[in-house]
Amino acid sequence: MLGASCLAVVTATGTVAQSNATAQSAPRYTNRLISEKSPYLQLHAHNPVEWYPWGDEAFAKARRENKPIFLSIGYSTCHWCHVMETETFSDPAMAELMKRVVVSIKVDREERPDIDRIYMSYVVGTTGGGGWPMTVFLTPDLKPFFGATYLPPEDRNGRPGFRSLLMRVETQWATNRDKIVEVADSGKQLIEAQAVSGAGGSTGGLDAKVLDKTYQDIRSSFDASAGGFGTAPKFPRPVLMNFLLRYYSRTGAKPALEMSLQTLTAMAGGGIHDHLAGGFHRYATDREWHVPHFEKMLYDQAQLGVAYTEAYQITKDATYSIVARDIIDYVLRDMRGQEGAFYSAEDADSLSDAAALRPTEGAFYVWTLDQVRKALGEETAAVFAFHYGLEPGGNVPGRQDIQGELKGRNVPIVRHTLAETAAKFRKSDADVRSLLEGARRKLADARAARPRPPRDDKVLVAWNGMMLSALARAAQVLDEPRYLDAARAAAAFIQSRMYDAGANTLKRRYRLGEAQIDAVLEDYVFLTQGLIDLYEASFETKWLAWAIQLQTQQDRLFWDAKNGAYFSTRAEASNILVRMKDDYDGAEPSPNSVAALNLLRLWQMTDRQEWRDKADKTFAAQSRQLTQPGAMVPQLASALDFSLAKHKQIVIAGAPGAADTRAMLKLVHDRFLPNKILLLADGGPAQAELAKWLPFVASMDRRDGKATAYICENYACNLPTVDLQTAARLLDAR
């Protein structure tokens, strides 16, 4: 019988052949994916494989021909997805075998996170780990009976090859169908068990002790040497910093702040950070943050933009504000479309030069020392190489996996401080800082002449919502109006191109003039969060009103009235084996974790008790995840922190843009106040709109014609003040 195990972390190496799509100017093959808008599906549109997109046509074919389904899930900037495409799916002989044995379906996990979530839960549950490309075999009724990640085309180093696996599937399907059906039924049961794992919980015992336990769990996994949490491969996982900074604010526990700052500092100096053009790569393959997996994802930039902004807000250390700007400016320059929306990702792979036969990972980003000398000259190159750890034979350690392609190359990583570099070359700190800034600009210009990694230019509502939050928060804390303008433009794009105002519904993906795919929970959740943040940065009530509309629709489409929390998909979604709930804060926070905080913030902004009640029911539904070992849901713990806090309602009565209003707002923006809401009473229509939700705001006005702060705690307000020092004292009161 077919086993269900597979190595979760890819370690096999293989020569990546030139793909069919790039090898020929006129493709020999074209399949049904040619009509799809997904860049990932388009990458496979000229495979000889008879690919189908997820949908009724493929399912009907599987039932009609009585064949199992081969489901392959990945995304466009995934290195090992490219490997499998070139070495397996571009092989005509393999394609013929696939056509004989299975109906082949290709899914972009970024377009369909709901499908990915279902079958990833099966792969993780049966193999102990997961990853992409995801390889799953299904019965025609969509039940899984085998799951794996990357597979080489042939048996290799003890790992079964895709060809031999297909032949085993063919034999077992013909001779042992009943056993496969039995295994598939068990597979569905495994998924269902995970889908209801949080049902029937209680808020009993969900108090500050849960926050203490989450803190201790995170602390136990901290890498005190290199920063970050756990071992290699090492992901940023900003949700951990989100919680730690809030825990520090609540308790004053300095280790919570120190762990966050050490991690952010180590990452900023590491090779995971693009020192030349800004932004961060997806993760580091080593514990030192040195050699990254080179793709760049929008969701990482958004979350890290917030983390560095908050670190600056707490410490006032300009190092963190510089990195926050570096991230956001990279996104605005390289990942924004002409109409203001943000693209999804940049690939890890690219051609090393125009004559290269195939793309390799990291080719755009790595350097030989000779290349640096040619671009900078000997003297400047020596300073740059010392500071960033460049070596004549390359600074990538000799290891297996992708790094075999980086032999002799350097990934810039800060190996010496500015002071150490200045002392080494007998220069002032200021001179070295200026020299390094100029060197980075020159190298960025030289690098720009290389073939650039492909960009995934689809627009996803969820990830754009995250970016709205980053822009809005940075606009406030860094006092950067262009960030606010960029947030407005992105929100307007989604509203005009991806939102049906009459039906109050969203489409998830926009590309090439087409908005398609019904939005899932994460789209509503992250956009709502972004709109709340955009309101607090702009005080334009239209964004808050839209957030309220979306929250109401989210409740209707996704709420689990029986057990609490939100399903990932709507009830009427077709071809969905099981309605899942997210319950893990990983590289992206769980939508339920963010939803809980949205509900609490909107409750504070509207005094709508039902949203407070839904937040409590979400905590109850996921109480097991909150209390079990391992800090599974630090973002949900951050929401619980908000729930348990004394809430500050801060209303500034003043004219928008006036100097005295800006001075009052600066007092707020200068402080890390995670458990507050911020409103502006402008004396006009916006204040009247706010008063529909919070009637007490109607009477709040300027005193003596000056901007006035009303600082309230649990709706009990201090006396209004026009004095900045008094307002500061009230803001700092615990």
Over the stretch 39-60, which tens digit does the pLDDT of each residue have? 999 999 999 999 999 999 999 9
The CATH number that applies at residue 663 is 3.40.30.10
Instruction: Say whether 372 sits in a helix, a strand or coil.
Output: helix
Domain assignment present for 203: no
Identify whether the C-beta of residue 75 lies closer than 8 Å to the C-beta of residue 81: yes
Q: Are 177 and 257 found together in one domain?
A: no
Q: What is the pLDDT of residue 323?
A: 98
- pLDDT exceeds cutoff 70 at 24: no
What is the residue range of 372's domain?
A: 223-456
Structure tokens at 153: 């085309």
Q: Classify residue 466 as left (phi > 0), alpha (psi -120 to 50) or beta.
A: alpha
Domain assignment present for 255: yes
Burial of 719 (0-12, 13-18, 19+ CB in 10 A): exposed
The average pLDDT across 89-106 equals 98
pLDDT band at 2 (very low <50, low <70, confident <90, very high): very low
Identify whether the C-beta of residue 518 lies closer than 8 Å to the C-beta of residue 509: no
Domain assignment present for 557: no
620-649, pLDDT tens digit by residue?
Answer: 999 999 999 999 999 999 999 999 999 999
Of the listed ranges 131-135, 190-194, 521-525, 705-709, the one predicted with least confidence = 190-194
State the DSSP code for 288: T
pLDDT band at 567 (very low <50, low <70, confident <90, very high): very high
pLDDT band at 197 (very low <50, low <70, confident <90, very high): low
- Looking at every residue in the chain, the average pLDDT score rounds to 93
Place of tokens 């042992």: 176
Dihedral sign (CA 427, 430, 436, 438): negative
Query: 437, 456, 475 — which closes off a domain?
Result: 456
267-295, pLDDT tens digit by residue?
Answer: 999 999 999 999 999 999 999 999 999 99
State the DSSP code for 713: E
Give the whole-number percent of the chain exceeding pLDDT 90. Answer: 88
- pLDDT exceeds cutoff 50 at 128: yes
Q: Are 369 and 264 found together in one domain?
A: yes
Of the listed ranges 133-137, 333-337, 352-356, 675-679, the one predicted with least confidence = 352-356
The average pLDDT across 679-691 equals 95
Q: Are 191 and 244 found together in one domain?
A: no
pLDDT band at 23 (very low <50, low <70, confident <90, very high): very low
* Residues forming a β-bridge with 680: 652
State the DSSP code for 206: -
Q: Are 123 and 187 found together in one domain?
A: yes
Cα–Cα distance measured from residue 314 to residue 318, given in angstroms and rounded to the nearest whole number: 11
- pLDDT exceeds cutoff 80 at 702: yes
Q: State the SS3 of 2-41.
A: CCCCCCCCCCCCCCCCCCHHHHCCCCCCCCHHHHCCCHHH
Q: Are 228 and 169 found together in one domain?
A: no
Q: Are 184 and 233 found together in one domain?
A: no
Q: Which helix (H) or strand (E) holds 714?
A: none
Q: What is the pLDDT of residue 596?
A: 98
- pLDDT exceeds cutoff 90 at 652: yes
Q: What is the pLDDT of residue 404?
A: 56
Burial of 573 (0-12, 13-18, 19+ CB in 10 A): middle
386-421, pLDDT tens digit by residue?
Answer: 999 999 999 988 644 444 578 889 999 999 999 999
The average pLDDT across 155-166 equals 92
To the nearest 10 degrees (0 to 180), the angle between helices 162-175 and 92-101 is 20
- pLDDT exceeds cutoff 70 at 619: yes
* Phi and psi torsions of 550, nearest 5°: -65, -40
Structure tokens at 25: 């100017």
**DSSP alpha helices (H): ranges in 316-428?**
318-334, 369-376, 378-387, 418-425
Identify whether the C-beta of residue 33 lies closer than 8 Å to the C-beta of residue 45: yes
Q: Are 242 and 161 found together in one domain?
A: no
- pLDDT exceeds cutoff 50 at 35: yes
450-488, pLDDT tens digit by residue?
Answer: 999 999 999 999 999 999 999 999 999 999 999 999 999
Q: What is the pLDDT of residue 195?
A: 81
**Spacing of C-alpha 730 from chain mean position:** 36
Q: Are 320 and 382 found together in one domain?
A: yes
Parallel, antiparallel or unpaired: strands 144-148 and 283-284: unpaired
Instruction: With CA atoms as reference, report the closest residue to 554 among 515, 592, 603.
Output: 592
Q: How many domains does the chain have?
A: 3
Domain assignment present for 461: no
Domain assignment present for 702: yes
568-613, pLDDT tens digit by residue?
Answer: 999 999 899 999 998 899 999 999 999 999 999 999 999 999 999 9
Q: Are 175 and 243 found together in one domain?
A: no
Q: What is the pLDDT of residue 200?
A: 55
Domain assignment present for 571: no
Domain assignment present for 576: no
Identify whether the C-beta of residue 566 lies closer than 8 Å to the C-beta of residue 521: yes
Q: Are 697 and 660 found together in one domain?
A: yes
Q: What is the pLDDT of residue 398?
A: 62
Cα–Cα distance measured from residue 131 to residue 150, given in angstroms and rounded to the nearest whole number: 8
Q: Are 317 and 405 found together in one domain?
A: yes
Q: Are 424 and 309 found together in one domain?
A: yes
320-330, pLDDT tens digit by residue?
Answer: 999 999 999 99
Residue 97: other Cβ atoms inside 10 A: 16
The average pLDDT across 150-178 equals 94
Query: 456, 482, 513 — which closes off a domain?
Result: 456
pLDDT band at 199 (very low <50, low <70, confident <90, very high): low
Residue 449: other Cβ atoms inside 10 A: 9
C-beta pairs of 430-435 under 8 Å, 24+ apart in sequence: 432/383, 432/387, 435/380, 435/383
- pLDDT exceeds cutoff 80 at 100: yes
